[in-house]
A and B are shown apart, each in its own frame.
Chain A
């Protein structure tokens, strides 16, 4: 009986958490897309500076990581493929698994580490120093002022980063292909391009947009629900990272399953 009560309790908690995220995401989407039509202009310059932070500054580390991931993928798939003398399929294996799955996912994980945590820390600190309260007493909506620019930046930049990550992954695979599998650079790239269907790329990009929404909602929600005191900011940041990783995987699973059953017919 107690077990059931506890299970029920955590299910309700989980649902109300998802509800809070959805409400925040909805408000942010409203401020981003509907607000400007109703005479509440979007802070484009804030969104641009967020996009710099979220996107452009993430490029070096993201490039390095996805290059290595591409190389690892090539090594791992070659291990199995060479048994069948099919080592030339390395190119398509890397291209497909990067653009369908690992490109969006690794990008999301890097962005969670860099920006999701930063959102929670920034907004959490503002909560502790009463800056969020100050915004409210000035009749400025914290969601519109703080969350919406981040939301826009994420939704735009995450797909861009994902495309870049796919390319770097394929490049990493190409390094293996050229040195170990008798490809030339040109032929490897050509083989990758031939292996990819448009839907492989778009499905990854759709997922990355959803990841962007999830990361922003979790980061900002954790920031806004920070309690009093500096140690709470640390807790919020940790929770933002852990919850974002978890929810990104859940969203990934849902969309991958959706794409799987949709392409079946």
Chain B
């Protein structure tokens, strides 16, 4: 019975993670993350630097292969998908990278039009119209002939969102949308996310450590710490949470230095586990 409900939630949810583990070499970054994202909701993934939140996002869009566990996107496990199946899934998602990741050699217009030119057989004139629409949506009308290097940080982010929207995705991912932006521009990006949510009922996943922006845009939040989900709930539930780690993060209490050093030391030793093992092997030989 329990199994049945689990299976049905996988097929109904937009995204389902089941015991997701991701490792870089010998070091495990995510220690078994499970969560579900429903259609049309905005989930904010919160966490400090090095918590594994960016790795989680990279795994969700298929840039990191999980070492074990499953990632279901619209009921399809991308951990075991073939490259062709993966491409089909990727056409339904859009991703806005932290630094924009616009192609420097292409103009803003060409950047936005790129997925359309690659994946559709639309006429050039149709593509022109679509790219104008997308740029208008993000407030960059008239900037199609600019090069990314001629745009400000906030405009680059907007252009990147326009490119992520080009294929009318069902799921939109944001990596640190307000990182490196001044508060006013960052608020503008938050408004943009809210508009997209309202206008298209898109499923939106945002990775951030900006609390103010997180509470503004989220329906639900996940707090990740050292590769584990330590809290998940609506914004109200998170605000009311009495869990010490959640409180520490939300109330912005500084970590005691000593503990951090120990963590750091542990991280270092874990990093060096592999060379020391080969050394042991050599000694054995």
Contacts and interface: CB of A to CB of B under 8 A. Distances in A.
B237 interface: no
Contact of A134 (B93, B95, B118, B119): B95
A134 B118 CA distance: 14
B91 interface: yes
The 3 closest A-B pairs by CB, nearest first: A139-B90, A134-B101, A139-B87
Contact of B285 (A5, A130, A131, A138): A5
B285 A1 contact: yes
Interface in B45-86: 58, 61-63, 86
Interface in A70-99: none
Interface in A114-163: 126, 129-131, 133-134, 136-140
Contacts, number: 54
Given A1-B285, A136-B63, A138-B114, A131 B101 contact: yes
Given A130-B98, A133-B63, A134-B97, A140 B282 contact: no
A137 B90 contact: yes
Contact of B90 (A1, A126, A129, A138): A138
Contact of B282 (A2, A126, A129, A139): A2
Majority secondary structure of chain A interface residues (helix, strand, loop or mixed): helix
Nearest to B61: A137
B282 to A, nearest CB: 6
A139 B119 contact: yes
B139 interface: no
Given A134-B102, A140-B115, 15 more contacts: A130-B97, A130-B98, A131-B104, A133-B58, A133-B101, A134-B101, A134-B103, A134-B163, A137-B63, A138-B114, A139-B86, A139-B87, A139-B90, A139-B91, A139-B118
B99 interface: yes
Contacts of B163: 134, 138
A5 B90 CA distance: 44
Nearest to A145: B118
B119 A130 contact: no
Contacts of A139: 86-88, 90-91, 115, 118-119
A130 B99 contact: yes
Nearest to A131: B101
Contacts of B285: 1, 5
A202 B189 CA distance: 60
Interface residues of A, number: 14
A129 B163 CA distance: 16
A138 B118 contact: yes
16 contacts: A2-B282, A5-B282, A129-B99, A129-B104, A130-B97, A131-B102, A131-B103, A133-B63, A134-B95, A134-B97, A134-B163, A138-B115, A138-B163, A138-B167, A139-B87, A140-B114
Contacts of B94: 137
Contacts of B86: 139
Interface in A183-203: none
B165 to A, nearest CB: 12
Contacts of A136: 62-63, 90
Interface in B202-225: none
Contacts of A137: 61-63, 90, 93-95, 173
A10 to B, nearest CB: 14
B97 A133 contact: yes
A134 to B, nearest CB: 4
Interface in B98-128: 98-99, 101-104, 114-115, 118-119
A25 to B, nearest CB: 19
Residue from A5, A130, A133, A137 whose CB has the most chain B CB atoms within 10 Å: A137
Contacts of A131: 101-104
A166 B102 CA distance: 42
A225 B247 CA distance: 40
A131 B101 CA distance: 5
A247 B203 CA distance: 49
Residue from B101, B103, B167, B173 whose CB has the most chain A CB atoms within 10 Å: B101
B84 to A, nearest CB: 10
Contact of A130 (B87, B101, B118): B101
